[in-house]
């Protein structure tokens, strides 16, 4: 998860994020180190930080690989 990286880029403290999500600061620490999964608050946090959920979850590489896989399937289907 890139929450910590994005939070720091925005000049925010864990306390600031905790206030946005209405949770305790300790919860933010757990989100950042992966001890607790960010679920319901993911969209709210994405909006507050002006990033996509994919940015927060760092699924960029997985998305790219999946897209390449789908393109390869389409090419195989076209050549048949």
Residue 26 token pair:
């300790």
Note down pLDDT in tens along the chain; length 80 residues. Answer: 789 999 999 999 999 999 988 899 999 999 898 888 777 788 888 888 898 888 887 776 777 777 888 888 888 777 76
Residues 52 and 63: beta-carbon distance below 8 Å? no
Cα–Cα dist 25/16, whole Å? 8
Fold of 3-79: 434 Repressor (Amino-terminal Domain) (1.10.260)
Asked if residue 4 lies in contact with residue 10, where contact means CB atoms within 8 angstroms, the answer is no
Long-range CB contacts for residues 11-15, cutoff 8 Å, separation at least 24: none
What integer pLDDT is reported at residue 18 of this predicted model?
93
- 36-48 per-position pLDDT tens digit: 877 778 888 888 8
Parse the chain into domains and list their residue ranges. 3-79
Q: Please tell me the pTM assigned to this model.
A: 0.61
* CA dist., res. 41 & res. 3, Å (int): 12
Query: CB-based contacts of 52: which residues, under 8 Å, 6+ apart?
Result: 46
């Amino acid at each position: 998860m890139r929450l910590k990286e994005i939070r720091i880029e925005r000049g925010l403290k864990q306390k600031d994020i905790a206030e946005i999500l209405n949770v305790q600061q300790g919860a933010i620490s757990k989100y950042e180190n992966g001890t607790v999964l960010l679920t319901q608050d993911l969209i709210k946090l994405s909006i507050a930080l002006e990033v996509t959920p994919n940015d927060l979850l760092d699924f960029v590489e997985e998305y790219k690989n999946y897209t390449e896989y789908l393109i390869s399937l389409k090419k195989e289907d076209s050549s048949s």
